[in-house]
């Protein structure tokens, strides 16, 4: 299983009570779904189930999770098919409860729009990766879509998987306008939560902590805890330097805490040579780190 905006194949058979219908597609044809805000996305065996906040089953994506053949190396994560990846990341130990993720927060400022608008999609995100063969990112994004109405930038809490059984789920409050203006400061958070529905899973809440009722938020539960925290960018269809923001994109006030507090960490970096961007760690560590994407 690979994750990120991929085409649904015959492997991903849908069974539903209220079927989800794609609201759009990426330039390469990968489906995007919108679910009610605070929906619960849950692993059940190899299947992925999507529940509305009131408990109604919205969709079952079958055989999304692969049969495990061994442990995945937490110090790396796999680039999504069809996308370029530029990121800083840090592995999570998870050897005991005190080493597990307690909170992952960061702040970014909405940058100026690119000066050319082709078919490019840009995702800037704080996310965590699960111990699946290729990784499951989830988190809060600043997303650009040259085909959408202005403003150019939108925000979303999302869960994504790829390639053969693939798609992207975004939580959205009723009446919420996801468009954000240049210069706006966006605060994001990923935290573990307790969930009575299935207490044996590892549950996370991904969203924006300015106003939890008005901004996108998702709850996600999996059989194993997150193994990597990631700050970075993914892009599809950017062909030239003017397809990127004209200024660096900065993540500031980046705080990663475990059950024991702020750990001693160093952020690693990964850059795709085909992307027109690279990442720098300007302030390292788990407290008030600063990470910049440069174009």
CB 231 within 8 A of CB 291: yes
What DSSP element (H or E) covers 179? strand 179-180
Whole-model pTM?
0.84
Q: CA separation (Å) from 247 to 227, 244, 250?
A: 31, 9, 9
Q: What is the mean pLDDT of the chain?
A: 78
pLDDT at 212 over 80: no
Closest CA relative to residue 62, chosen from 81, 45, 84, 47: 47
Rounded Cα distance, 236 and 135, in Å: 19
- For 33, the token pair is 């779904």
Q: Look at residue 4 in the predicted model and tell me its pLDDT.
A: 26
Token output for 5? 């905006």
Burial bucket for residue 223 (CB in 10 Å: 0-12, 13-18, 19+): middle
Q: Give me the helices (H) in the chain, please.
A: none
Query: What are the tokens at 252?
Result: 């500031």
Average pLDDT over residues 102-130: 87
| pLDDT grade for 85, boundaries at 50, 70 and 90 | confident
- Structure confidence by residue, pLDDT tens digits, 132-189: 644 455 666 666 665 555 568 888 888 877 545 467 777 777 777 778 888 988 898 8
Tokens of 203: 């549950």
CA distances from 288 to 109, 119, 256 (A): 15, 35, 9
CB environment 210-221: b (16+ within 10 A), e (fewer): eeeeebbbbbbb
For residues 164 and 50, give the distance between their C-alpha atoms in angstroms, rounded to a whole number. 19
14-67+84-294, what's its fold? Jelly Rolls (2.60.120)
């Amino acid at each position: 299983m690979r994750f990120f905006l991929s085409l649904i194949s015959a492997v991903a058979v849908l069974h539903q009570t209220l079927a989800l219908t794609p609201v759009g597609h990426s330039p390469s044809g990968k489906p995007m779904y919108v679910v009610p805000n605070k929906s619960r996305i849950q692993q059940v065996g190899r299947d992925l189930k999507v529940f509305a906040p009131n408990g109604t089953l919205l969709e079952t994506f079958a055989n999304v999770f692969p049969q495990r053949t061994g442990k995945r190396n937490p110090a790396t994560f796999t680039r999504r098919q069809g996308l370029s990846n530029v990121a800083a990341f840090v592995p999570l130990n998870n050897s005991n409860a005190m080493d597990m993720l307690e909170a992952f927060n960061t702040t970014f400022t909405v940058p100026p729009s690119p000066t050319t608008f082709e078919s490019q999609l840009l995702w800037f995100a704080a996310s965590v990766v699960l111990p699946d063969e290729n990784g499951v990112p989830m988190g809060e994004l600043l997303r650009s879509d040259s085909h959408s109405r202005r403003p150019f930038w939108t925000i979303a809490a999302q869960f994504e998987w790829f390639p053969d059984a693939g798609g992207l789920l975004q939580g959205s409050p009723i009446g919420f306008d996801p468009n954000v203006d240049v210069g706006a400061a966006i605060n994001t958070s990923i935290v573990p939560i307790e969930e009575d529905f299935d207490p044996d899973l590892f549950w996370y809440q991904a969203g924006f902590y300015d106003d939890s009722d008005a901004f996108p938020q998702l709850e996600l539960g999996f059989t194993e805890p997150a193994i990597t925290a990631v700050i970075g960018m993914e892009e599809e269809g950017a062909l030239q330097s003017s397809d990127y923001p004209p200024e660096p994109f900065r993540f500031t006030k980046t705080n990663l805490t475990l059950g024991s507090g702020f750990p001693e960490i160093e952020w690693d970096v990964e850059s795709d040579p085909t992307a027109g961007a690279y990442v720098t760690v300007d302030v390292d560590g788990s407290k008030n780190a600063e990470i910049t994407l440069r174009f």
